[in-house]
Amino acid sequence: MSLHKHFVTDVLIVGTGLAAITVALHLPDNLRALLVTKGTRSETNSMRAQGGIASSALEDDHEAHRADTVRAAKGWVNPEAVEFVTREGRTVISELEALGVIFDRQENGEYAVGREGAHGLPRIFHSGGDQTGCRMMETLSEKITHPVLEQTVITQLLTSGGRVVGAAGYRGEERIEISARAVVLASGGIGGLLLTSTNDDMITGDGLALAADVGAELSDLGYIQHHPTILVHQGKSAGLITEALRGAGAYLMTRDGRRVMDHHPEGDLAARDEVSAMITAIRKQEPVYLNTTPVVQLAERFPTFVQKCEKLNINPELVEVTTGVHFLMGGIKTNLAGQTSVAGLYAVGETASIGLHGTNRLASNSLLECFVMGKALARQLQLPPRRTLPILRPIFGCEDGVSKQQLSEVLAVELKEDRLQAALEQLTNKSFRQTGRRAEQHRLQITTARLLLEGALYRLKGEQLTNEQMAPAATT
């Protein structure tokens, strides 16, 4: 085998979003890491994050943030995870500043914190207004000294004696194998599998399929968050409009000026799932608009939004909105050190599930989770002695499945059991024959689609996991 097809590292990190680079930045200096990504290193959801990062840094303690997280999640949480992330979250702003991130301040020098849905207090820190993800990622990515392989897809985890010991996949069209003492899946959510999504198209839930292939426990896959405000242009979705706009005074209305969330005690800042359900119901009859006229300094605070409107020749003061697939609450089950139920396999960020987000993630808790959990994972990583690369299991490709359109229709805000069942049946008993990058990527996506359909059915049938089952995965 030629050298360039076989890589050896201590820690293989799959992904280049905030969770991935936080792990890389916090690993002990004596460890080598290798980051891989399917596209370019900047094709991540973290780069797109507009809302900011939630932290109780300016409050007396993390209690109110903890309580808001539980309330938004409808209580369906692992209390230890909520406690851990919100408590550790108090120092993230100063830690990120120490790494070079600059957070927005008002003219008097105080932080310009904002509010978003279901937060009782303004505690969202921004960088460059609605460009937070991009600013953070550009600053932190520069600090990474570990190599990054772009255009590299992982299609299989390699196991030996019940332990994950590396991965195999393709760099371009070339087959590669990577021997690693630990594999960290930080490959994001599932939005790229569905239409009208805020996610990068690259993000197709590969981590879920890879983890399921080696028998790792997954949880809460039935909970997909639909963001309430996706810009509509000429009848088509044109990307995320940050919830921070509603935090700054914008409101949802119908054509005749009726306020859509007037009935709710929290108004336009109700939890995301509730706002999305209302918009979905109204849009069956008529369009829904976001009125941004109450927002002061719109162009300065929301440059991404205003520039997008200008590009599309839309007046930013009144825009039509729809809901869109945004975030997967469940994922690969881990403990608070990022360990999955399979030795040698770790997961972090959106692809992981520590039980923080319940049935509905609190706004701007995702960048927070990536940073807190990425750091915790890197600091507690337990590595075995180096081993030789095992023999690959045979790999199969997949012929065809359901279309993105069909899948989006069934994994919608309103779930219907018969349609989920039909889609699942269509994906069951698919032939897995071909090999090669395309076929193997397709197989991963079919596997993830099946997992999501099963998760949604499980949710509908009310067979929810008990709190006992939600306990963190056993330490391996």
**Annotated active-site positions, please?**
272
Smaller CB separation from ligand SIN, 368 or 473:
368
For residues 154 and 167, the answer to whether their CB atoms sit within 8 Å is yes
Distance CA 171, CA 101 (A): 32
Point out the residue whose Cβ comes nearest to ligand SIN: 51
Q: Is 47 an interacting residue with respect to ligand SIN (CB under 6 A)? A: no
Q: Is 323 an interacting residue with respect to ligand SIN (CB under 6 A)? A: no
In the numeric block, the tokens 């081993």 are attached to 387
Q: Is 360 an interacting residue with respect to ligand SIN (CB under 6 A)? A: no
φ, ψ for residue 69, nearest 5 deg: -65, -45
Q: Is 51 an interacting residue with respect to ligand SIN (CB under 6 A)? A: yes
Q: How far is CA 280 from CA 53, 122, 296, in A?
A: 27, 27, 28
Distance CA 410, CA 66 (A): 33
Distance CA 75, CA 370 (A): 21
Identify which range of 134-142, 237-245, 312-320, 461-469 contacts ligand SIN by CB under 6 A.
Answer: 237-245
Based on the number of CB atoms within 10 Å of its own CB, is 311 exposed (0-12), middle (13-18) or buried (19 or more)? exposed
Q: Is 242 an interacting residue with respect to ligand SIN (CB under 6 A)? A: yes
**Closest approach of Cβ 355 to ligand SIN, in Å?**
18
**Closest approach of Cβ 7 to ligand SIN, in Å?**
34
Number of residues binding to ligand SIN, judged by CB under 6 A: 8
**Closest approach of Cβ 295 to ligand SIN, in Å?**
14
Q: DSSP states of 34-86 as a string?
A: EEE-SS-TT-SHHHH--S-EE--TTSSSSHHHHHHHHHHTTT-S-HHHHHHHH
Q: Is 366 an interacting residue with respect to ligand SIN (CB under 6 A)? A: yes
Q: How far is CA 322 from CA 61, 92, 275, 314, in A?
A: 36, 33, 11, 16
Smaller CB separation from ligand SIN, 237 or 242:
242
Q: Which of 190, 244, 370, 473 binds ligand SIN (CB under 6 A)?
A: 244
**Closest approach of Cβ 333 to ligand SIN, in Å?**
22
For residues 369 and 355, the answer to whether their CB atoms sit within 8 Å is no
**Closest approach of Cβ 324 to ligand SIN, in Å?**
11
Smaller CB separation from ligand SIN, 117 or 338:
117
Across 172-248, the runs of DSSP E, i.e. the strands, are: 174-185, 218-219, 224-233, 236-240
Distance CA 177, CA 169 (A): 6
Q: Is 304 an interacting residue with respect to ligand SIN (CB under 6 A)? A: no
Q: Which of 68, 220, 243, 268 binds ligand SIN (CB under 6 A)?
A: 243
Q: Which of 16, 45, 50, 237 binds ligand SIN (CB under 6 A)?
A: 50
Identify which range of 89-97, 346-354, 361-369, 436-444 contacts ligand SIN by CB under 6 A.
Answer: 361-369
Binding site for ligand SIN (CB under 6 A): 50-51, 242-244, 363-364, 366
